[in-house]
């Protein structure tokens, strides 16, 4: 009897087939933290990731480096830094790469909004 370790439709892929599949961005109620759910193609070789959040003025407000992740389904909390009022439109760029980030193996850019404080 053969027991598969991975579901057959989600078998690990070689690096040429690894992509960023899904990004979900949800601001926390405190508005200074952002929950990021990231899914990449299951992989044979462990990729690196760089997540960078920029505000409307294209100023870097949060950054996270992941070196050789072991998981294809990940969750992170990014902290919005350098502001006393975080409300506004932001852009999150995610680069997936192996040896070099220039150019990245895959890149996704998503926008998100942190709402104004409720009175």
* Residue 58 to residue 46: CA distance in whole angstroms: 30
Distance CA(97)–CA(101), nearest Å, equals: 5
- pLDDT tier at 21, thresholds 50, 70, 90: very high
Q: CATH classification of 13-112 is 2.60.120.200, yes or no?
A: no
Region of 43 (left: φ > 0; alpha: ψ -120 to 50; beta: rest) is beta
Sequence ranges of the domains in the chain: 13-112
Average pLDDT over residues 81-92: 97
Residue 81's alpha-carbon distances to 33, 53, 55, in angstroms, are 9, 10, 10
CA distance 27 to 20: 21
Query: Above pLDDT 70, what percent of the chain?
Result: 92
Q: What is the pTM of this model?
A: 0.89
Confidence of residue 4 (pLDDT cuts 50, 70, 90): low
């Amino acid at each position: 009897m053969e027991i598969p370790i991975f579901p057959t439709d989600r078998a690990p892929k070689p690096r040429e087939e690894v992509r960023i599949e899904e990004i979900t961005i949800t601001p926390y109620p405190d508005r200074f933290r952002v929950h990021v759910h990231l899914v990449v193609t299951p992989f044979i070789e462990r990729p690196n990731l760089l997540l960078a959040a920029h505000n409307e003025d294209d100023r870097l407000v949060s950054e996270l480096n992941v070196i050789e992740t072991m998981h294809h389904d990940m969750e992170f909390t990014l902290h919005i830094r350098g502001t006393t009022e975080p409300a506004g439109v932001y852009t999150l760029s995610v680069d997936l790469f192996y040896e070099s980030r220039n150019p990245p193996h895959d890149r996704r850019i998503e926008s998100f909004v942190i709402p104004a404080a409720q009175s």
